[in-house]
Amino acid sequence: MESLRVLTPIRLLQGAFFALLALTFAVHALVDSGLLLQRLSQHKVPLLGLLWCTVCGIVAYILTRARPVLLLDYACHKPSSEHRLSFEACEYFIRRINRYSMTSENFMRGIYHKSGLGDETYGPPFVFNEDNDAKLASAVEEAQEGAFSCVETVLFKSNLSPDQIDVVVVSCGMFTHSPSLSAMLVNRFGFNPNVKTYNLSGMGCSSGAAAVDLGARILSASREVRNVLVAVTESISLNWYFGDERSMLVTNCIFRVGSAAAVLTNDPARRCQAKMELMHSLRSHNGADDASYRAAYLEEDHNDNLGVSLKKDLIRVAGVGLREHIRQLAPRVLPLSEIVYGAYAAAAAWARTKMGLSNADAKPHVPDFTKAFEHICLHTGGKAVVESVQKLMRLPDETTEPARMTLHRFGNTSSSLIFYEMAYFDAKGKFQEGDRVWMIAFGTGFKVCSLVWKSLKPSVMTKDNPWKDCIHRYPLKAW
């Protein structure tokens, strides 16, 4: 996996050995073979040393090379129909608890209608209980219900027992618990006592992609770890906002319940069973900039109501973060023609600046990522986010269709949203062997995470696919 290979001293030594070997062959091509053999026979010790070093280099390379990381399978959680949070159910809940002003109710109603969400998204358990307080028990129930369901399903689909899992990575964007969520999974499924567990929290919607990246790095570097379970859950119960601050009310309208799980492996024997191979992963972090750091911030309002505040410049911050991220990703994935054209555009802009000419009338060059990928899973943070990213990257509607439809059907499920988009592609039968897939997610901080996959087999509609009962209605003609 190209992006996960690290230039260690042993690899530098390998490079030196192979360079020396290449030089030997070059000399052999330039000098008469008989004369070369005669000269080498006079220097047997250096020749044996060269051969020994070459053999050691080859063996060291075989033992330390980065192994391919494969996606065996994945599963998405589909809550029961009893937890569907339609506009009517949402409005009934808000009126029933009587904790918002009429101004706030009207504001949320307007946000909901412009959000791109449909009437079949799912809400947290406390919304449907008689006691409408968001308590810890509701948060735990929400996280466990999704995680347990997905993990059980993905282990069955991957034909693995809990004892075969070496590492468990759990991510939850906005909720943490003690014992940890990974400890809950160990307790529930009885993983091996030697299992290594990791917990990611507070990373917002990017934590799912970050969890996959972490698992892939462990697999790529380790010779002992074979299978990594990645569980991506969310719990919005304790982050439901009960005040009247507009910047905090938006999250009530767009965030919904969702979870996913995936099994990664570096076992070459299971390549024929794997769905995809991870080719690249990239994470960028703009937290050094104050505006980026506070663009989405968990805090209390003036009445001590806790909530996530989404600042007005969130879209601008996302655009800046995405541009910086693309600059790092583009050279790794774009075809040579796009790289050359981009270099030409940059050189032309530099030349105009040197000549004192303005670049205001010149459109900035935007790489055509549709030439690098057959499919793109965009961050479904909200209708405004999808439209802004589409405009920034100049993507056609066909490319953003999975993001828009996922937002309509499931809402913003935070860290698990990229897997719901992958399930949409599978339900539509879009993936073909050899197709390249780009997943990109944004997170608080401000973070951007990319995963680049290569499909190893065509799409298959499975029984557990969350789109199975409704895919015939999508895509929508109007959104």
pLDDT digits (tens, 9 = 90+) for 236-283: 888 899 999 999 999 999 999 999 999 999 999 999 999 999 999 999
Look at residue 5 and tell me whether its pLDDT is greater than 50: no
pLDDT at 467 over 80: yes
Contact 123, 79 (CB under 8 A): no
Q: What is the mean pLDDT of residues 358-377?
A: 80
At residue 361 the predicted structure's pLDDT band, cuts being 50, 70 and 90, is low
What's the average model confidence in pLDDT over 362-391? 87
Residue 148's pLDDT is what? 96
CATH number of 279-473: 3.40.47.10
pLDDT at residue 3 is higher than 50: no
Count Cβ atoms below 10 Å from residue 253 Cβ, excluding itself. 22
Strand partners, 70: 265, 277
In sequence order, the 6+-apart residues with CB closer than 8 A to the CB of 429 are 458, 459, 461
Length of the chain: 479
Q: Mind listing the pLDDT tens digit for each residue in 173-190? A: 888 888 999 999 999 999
End-to-end CA distance of the chain: 38
Q: pTM here?
A: 0.85
Measured between alpha carbons, how far is 440 from 60 in angstroms, rounded to an integer? Answer: 35
Q: Tell me the per-residue pLDDT of 103-131, one tens digit each, with 9 for 90 and over.
A: 999 999 999 999 999 999 999 989 998 87
User: Which residue has better confidence, 211 or 32?
Assistant: 211
CATH level 3 topology of 69-277:
Peroxisomal Thiolase; Chain A, domain 1 (3.40.47)
The confidence score (pLDDT) of residue 411 equals 94
**pLDDT (average), residues 315-330:** 90
Instruction: Say what the pLDDT of residue 67 is.
Output: 81
pLDDT attached to residue 42: 63
166 pLDDT exceeds 90?
yes
- Residues 52-80, mean pLDDT to the nearest whole number: 80
Neighbours of 349 (CB within 10 A): 15
DSSP 8-state secondary structure symbol assigned to residue 472: G
Of the pLDDT bands very low, low, confident and very high (cuts 50, 70, 90), residue 456 is: very high
Domain residue extents for the chain: 2-64, 69-277, 279-473
Q: Which residues are catalytic?
A: 205, 285, 375, 379, 408, 412
Per-residue pLDDT, 366: 79
